[in-house]
Amino acid sequence: MKRSTLLAVGLALLFALLISGRYLRPTDYGTDMDLDTFGQLPVVKDGRVKPMDTVARNALRIISGKKKLLAPLDEPNAIQKLLRRKHESRPAIVWLADAMSLSDQASPALYHETFRIDHPEVLASVELEPTKGFRYPLAKLVVHKPALYERAHGIDARLDRKEKISIFERKSLDLANRVFLFDQLARHQQPLLIPPTGPGTDWRSLMMVGHAGPGDAEAIGIIGDWQKMLMAYGEGRADDFNQAVREYRDKLALLMPREAAKAAWEAKYNRFEPFSQCLFFMVALGLLALAGLLLKKRPLVVAANTLAVWSVVIWVGALVARMYFQDRPWVFVTNLYSSAVFIGCGAVLFALIIESIYRNGLGTLVAAVIGFPTLLIADYLSADGDTMEMMQAVLDTNGWLATHVTTMAIGYVLTFFAGALGAIYLFAGLFSANFDKQNQHELSRMIYGTICGALLFSFVGTVLGGIWADQSWGRFWGWDVKENGALIIVLWNVLILHARWGGLIRQRGIALLAVFGNAITAWSWFGVNMLGVGLHAYANASGAPYLIAFVVGQLLIMGLGLVPQRLWASQRANSAPPPLPKG
């Protein structure tokens, strides 16, 4: 291996280690309280055991739209003024601890600017003025809570009657739900803090056990543990809080060792933020691969490949960790969020396989082109709460989740990959004079082979889905919108291959049709779920504008590809006469 290549690999690894090591540093909580251990304590919310840290992150994301707590800086220092930073961030567990220890009007939880309200009519209804960031403290909403809840009750009744509601009503209902979520946390109704203490008992909230009377001595003792922790935190007694938290952790380690260990690992997983790291690496390796292709510098491409391998290690490790947390071995995809991170991971893995065959950097570039947006989609989907939610009863089958859903997701990966290669073919042909016939032929072969793989996995996955539907619903095929979407992907890939075999399209044609495969796959993946009909309606319709923008983008790329080839930069360069010899 050349010295320049070794240097590129070494620098890429050093960069990756520095970025990943940044997420392993001790968390700055801005306090002497041992919130790291507090965040690892197992509780139950949304039907599964999870650490307090996960509860905090999910609740803050729902209420604020942010993953961390933003607190105003009263007197920013010179560096912060220079960078125009008006806020400092703290982990979400700080906000949750403040909320759960809420005892009087002086509690910080009342004054954290967490509630995002951006609709002008909703702001007017709670007598607030628009501010930068549109985030407001609970203290300014307390007097309006009765009116908010009363209005939400009326809106819920209208929704039960299938009546249409205005945007103002929908936003008002959303605000009331977020205030109610905060109230549940502050009043210890959620999460369920008291673990099972004997046969026939289940997880309970502090209020549930308190109302049950003194019959369960062990549960009453655990209530005392929680009261000791929260009172010490609220009164700022760090030593007492830390001792109470560690004693309670040790008690749970004896009472339920498996759940305690799993919650501790999930809290560490949250702190590592694997998918945030992968998002950063997608940008870096994409820029390196693009620079390597444009400048024809192989070491840059090798550096990009090194980052891709590092990303896959983190990505696959995160997917395996999610299986462990959910108790679902070999099940990578359980909801839309997990499908997004799986598709991104699959694209990077397939890119490394393609790169090992062709060694031209295109596969690595496509890895970034697909991996980056899928991680953005996953981040958008995580705003709804827990990404490891409990499955619907009809879907709660590990075998089918590990076969049908995973196979379909691989079909999505390969169809998107072919579409991204097609887009690169069209852009390179139109704008690059260096895109010669050999490169065109090689890229066209990559598109063709990828479509063959996409057809295989899409077809097998669709058939497996029919068998699962027959076992679950008593019919193999019912023309459900999701079934139609899967069938359209199969038929589109069949159409491309038959058009190629029949000579109806050649290199540019297969690239054009592969690009439209992106739109079809996106519709099957998300669009049919947004319709609100059928047996697969489990996506949020608020993402419809993004889907429409993506489809329009694919049509624009196809429009560029339809420019007559005599105007393509690559065509003019390839058809130009060779230069005359000197002399």
- Among 84-88, 369-373, 394-398, 407-411, the least confident range: 84-88
Q: How far is CA 258 from the centre of its chain?
A: 27
- Other Cβ atoms less than 10 A from the Cβ of 118: the count is 12
Rounded to an integer, what distance in angstroms lies between the CA atom of residue 182 and that of residue 490? 46
Average model confidence (pLDDT) for the chain? 87
Q: Is the pLDDT of residue 60 over 50?
A: yes
Rounded to an integer, what distance in angstroms lies between the CA atom of residue 355 and that of residue 581? 37
Q: Is the pLDDT of residue 74 over 50?
A: no
* Interval 545-572: pLDDT, tens: 888 999 999 999 999 999 998 899 988 8
- Among 56-60, 400-404, 453-457, the least confident range: 400-404
Give me the amino acid identity at 178.
Answer: R
- Other Cβ atoms less than 10 A from the Cβ of 133: the count is 15
* Interval 375-385: pLDDT, tens: 999 998 888 88
> Which two tokens mark 323?
């299986």
- R_g (Cα) of the chain, nearest Å: 27
- Residue 127, CA distances (Å) to 4, 168, 176 in order: 63, 15, 15
Q: Phi, psi at residue 72, to the nearest 5°?
A: -60, 145
* Interval 293-343: pLDDT, tens: 988 889 999 999 999 999 999 999 999 999 999 888 888 888 889 999 999
**Partner residues linked to 192 by β-bridges:** 44
Q: Check if the beta carbon of residue 241 is closer than 8 Å to that of residue 227.
A: no
pLDDT (average), residues 528-543: 64
Rounded to an integer, what distance in angstroms lies between the CA atom of residue 161 and that of residue 165? 11
What per-residue confidence (pLDDT) applies to 89?
78
Q: How far is CA 45 from the centre of its chain?
A: 20
* Interval 167-199: pLDDT, tens: 999 999 999 999 999 999 998 899 999 998 878
Rounded to an integer, what distance in angstroms lies between the CA atom of residue 221 and that of residue 473? 47
According to DSSP, residue 137 is labeled -
For residue 80, name the pLDDT band (cuts at 50, 70, 90): very low
Rounded to an integer, what distance in angstroms lies between the CA atom of residue 415 and that of residue 465? 18
Share of the chain above pLDDT 70, in %: 90
> Crossing angle of helices 3-22/274-295, nearest 10°?
160
Please report which residue ranges of 256-335 form alpha helices under DSSP H.
257-272, 274-295, 298-326
Q: Check if the beta carbon of residue 104 is closer than 8 Å to that of residue 190.
A: no
Rounded to an integer, what distance in angstroms lies between the CA atom of residue 316 and that of residue 325? 14
- Give the H or E element holding residue 412: helix 406-431
Q: Check if the beta carbon of residue 66 is closer than 8 Å to that of residue 12.
A: no
For residue 390, name the pLDDT band (cuts at 50, 70, 90): low
What per-residue confidence (pLDDT) applies to 525?
87
Q: Check if the beta carbon of residue 432 is closer than 8 Å to that of residue 569.
A: yes
- Give the H or E element holding residue 68: strand 68-72
**pTM score above 0.85:** yes
- 501-524 b/e (C-beta count within 10 Å ≥ 16 → b): eeeebebbbbbbbbbbbbbbbbbb
**Partner residues linked to 71 by β-bridges:** 88
Nearest to 515 by CA among 542, 547, 553: 553
According to DSSP, residue 579 is labeled P
180 HSE (CA, 13 A, CB side) = 13
- Give the H or E element holding residue 227: helix 217-234
User: CA-CA-CA-CA torsion for 255, 319, 16, 21, nearest 10 degrees?
Assistant: -10
According to DSSP, residue 161 is labeled T
Q: Is the pLDDT of residue 104 over 80?
A: no
Q: Is the pLDDT of residue 105 over 90?
A: no
Share of the chain above pLDDT 90, in %: 58
Q: Check if the beta carbon of residue 278 is closer than 8 Å to that of residue 375.
A: yes
Sequence-separated (6 or more) residues with CB below 8 Å from residue 83: none
Helix (H, G, I), strand (E, B) or coil at 116: strand
Query: Of 133-147, 194-208, 391-405, 451-465, which has the strongest mean pLDDT?
Result: 451-465
* Interval 127-181: pLDDT, tens: 999 988 888 999 899 899 999 999 999 999 998 888 888 999 999 999 999 999 9
